[in-house]
Amino acid sequence: MTDENNNEPQKKAVDDEVLREMEGVPEHLRDDADEAGDETPVEDALAKLKGDLETAMQDVLYARAETQNVRRRMEKDVQDARNYAATNFARDVLSVADNLARALHHVPDELRDHEKAKNFISGIEATQRELEKVFASNGITRIAAKGMPLDPNQHQAMMEVPSDEVEPGTIVQEMQAGYMIKDRLLRPAMVGVAKKPD
């Protein structure tokens, strides 16, 4: 009986130490350990906490990766918005460029020699050059067409022209100029394509 009484203070000290260590352990984990009747509730609680910590760390890593992906997508969207903001406006202005080109193309040769007409034609040519300069400064470039092989990504075939002079599929006529804005198609070139004569 005296041995049991001697062990009682030691057991009480061990129990107090376990309780102190478990103070930081959540209540539900303490209850689980108590119900299980394990002799090492602290070790079980620590193992569970380590598992929870690893899961939480994995979740944080996934969240960081997702945040980085969202940031990259947003940066790309902002860059695209900057690069292609003028797309609709540029498409509308292309008809102005077309009309200027048509006007210059249809001026009769006899008017080109007339002094008053010369000044007028020079003004239209200067306007056309200025428009081309504005296009270039905004990344709008004309698509090469005549003499090139048909590229369905940039050219729209409007008709076939029988020809022995060039390979079939070669563009022999450009009805309307096509344009790119940076690396995107703004408007396809409308073209006539060579085919083998019948």
Domain contains 78: no
**pLDDT of 27 over the 80 cut:** no
Global model pTM greater than 0.75: no
- Considering the domain architecture, whether residues 95 and 148 belong to the same structural domain is answered as no
How confident is the model over 142-178, as pLDDT tens digits?
A: 999 999 999 999 999 999 999 888 999 999 999 999 9
- 31-59: average pLDDT: 77
- Considering the domain architecture, whether residues 197 and 145 belong to the same structural domain is answered as yes
Bridge pairing between strands 140-142 and 179-181? antiparallel
In which residue are the tokens 């020079």 written? 122
Q: Which of 95-104, 106-115, 186-195 has the highest mean pLDDT?
A: 186-195
Q: First and final CA of the chain: distance in angstroms? A: 122
- Considering the domain architecture, whether residues 52 and 108 belong to the same structural domain is answered as no
For 99-117, b where at least 16 C-beta lie within 10 A, e where not — what string? ebeeeeeeeeeeeeeeeee
Q: Which helix (H) or strand (E) holds 31?
A: helix 27-36
| Domain encompassing residue 105 | 86-138
SS3 158: strand
Domain contains 76: no
Total count of residues recorded for the chain? 198
Domain contains 79: no
- Considering the domain architecture, whether residues 131 and 157 belong to the same structural domain is answered as no
Domain contains 40: yes
How confident is the model over 81-97, as pLDDT tens digits?
A: 887 888 888 888 999 99
**What CATH number is attached to the domain comprising 156?**
2.30.22.10
**pLDDT of 60 over the 90 cut:** yes
- In this predicted structure, what is the pLDDT of residue 1? 46
Around Cβ 82, how many Cβ atoms within 10 Å? 9
Domain contains 74: no
How confident is the model over 105-144, as pLDDT tens digits?
A: 888 877 777 777 888 888 889 999 999 999 999 899 999 9
> How many domains are there within the chain?
3
Around Cβ 134, how many Cβ atoms within 10 Å? 13
Smallest CA-to-CA distance from 73 within 65, 136, 148 is with: 65
- Considering the domain architecture, whether residues 125 and 154 belong to the same structural domain is answered as no
Q: Rounded to whole angstroms, how far apart are CA atoms 168 and 170?
A: 6
Token reading at 145: 């067409």
- Considering the domain architecture, whether residues 128 and 155 belong to the same structural domain is answered as no
- Considering the domain architecture, whether residues 21 and 55 belong to the same structural domain is answered as yes
Domain contains 126: yes
